[in-house]
Amino acid sequence: MEQGVIFAGFGGQGILLAGKVLARAGMEHGLEVSWLPSYGPEMRGGTANCTVVLSDELIGAPIVDAPWALVAMNAPSLDRFEPQLAEGGLAVINTSLVHRSVQRTDLTAVPIPVTQLAHNLEMPRAGNMVALGALLRGLDSVPLQSAVQAMAHEMEERGRESLVDANRKALEAGYEEAGKVIVGS
């Protein structure tokens, strides 16, 4: 088993953190993981993406030709990465900002109003965790509970224990919403 996941969106949407929480959840779940950020001269409002690889064996390349899943937090991200996704792959799309669906028929699209759901939770900055929760519904390698734990560890290390509860709710909201979309999950 080796799964590549790309998180992409605007700088400031918590793209890199969402990827890191997934990588950490995978690690704490006993998998081999790698997390590779795009690190050009980027800034808030520019583009950001990262690649997470989850595997049950030691990881060679931390870059992937055909990622198994994509979290597209804005329209340019879907335009850029949809063609690269593996056959039958998964695309979580933030429909609050992306007003089109996937063009490929082989993909499983998971349209989620990520930004809207985060606002509803009065946690406008937790859209990244809503999206990660939605992704986890389609990802059989890492359970939601591992991600909740990894997120909590991450917040604690940053001295942000007060945000653990809200981020847990965001993860669960995304997971639940995706359940309505992904058939048989």
Looking only at the bridges linking them, the beta strands covering 47-55 and 2-10 are: antiparallel
Q: Is 132 in the site for another protein (CB under 8 A)?
A: no
Are residues 93 and 102 in contact, defined by beta-carbon separation less than 8 angstroms?
A: yes
Q: Residue 64 CB, nearest distance to another protein (Å)?
A: 7
Q: Is 63 in the site for another protein (CB under 8 A)?
A: yes
Q: CA-CA distance, 15 to 35, in Å (whole number)?
A: 12
Are residues 91 and 110 in contact, defined by beta-carbon separation less than 8 angstroms?
A: yes
Interface mask toward another protein for 2-41; x: CB under 8 A: ------------------x--xx--x----xxxxxx-xxx
Q: Residue 61 CB, nearest distance to another protein (Å)?
A: 4
Q: Residue 87 CB, nearest distance to another protein (Å)?
A: 14
The CB-side HSE value for 94 (13 A sphere, CA atoms) comes to: 30
The residue from 11, 29, 47, 59 that contacts another protein (CB under 8 A) is 59
Q: Please identify, among the stretches 5-13, 63-71, 74-82, 164-172, the one whose residues bind another protein according to the rule CB under 8 A.
A: 63-71
Q: Residue 39 CB, nearest distance to another protein (Å)?
A: 5
The strand pairing partners of 33, in sequence order, are: 54
The residue from 43, 61, 101, 140 that contacts another protein (CB under 8 A) is 61
Q: Is 148 in the site for another protein (CB under 8 A)?
A: no
The CB-side HSE value for 59 (13 A sphere, CA atoms) comes to: 21
The CB-side HSE value for 72 (13 A sphere, CA atoms) comes to: 30
Q: Is 152 in the site for another protein (CB under 8 A)?
A: no
- Give residue 1's Cα distance to chain centre: 19
Q: What residue ranges bind another protein (CB under 8 A)?
A: 20, 23-24, 27, 32-37, 39-41, 59-65
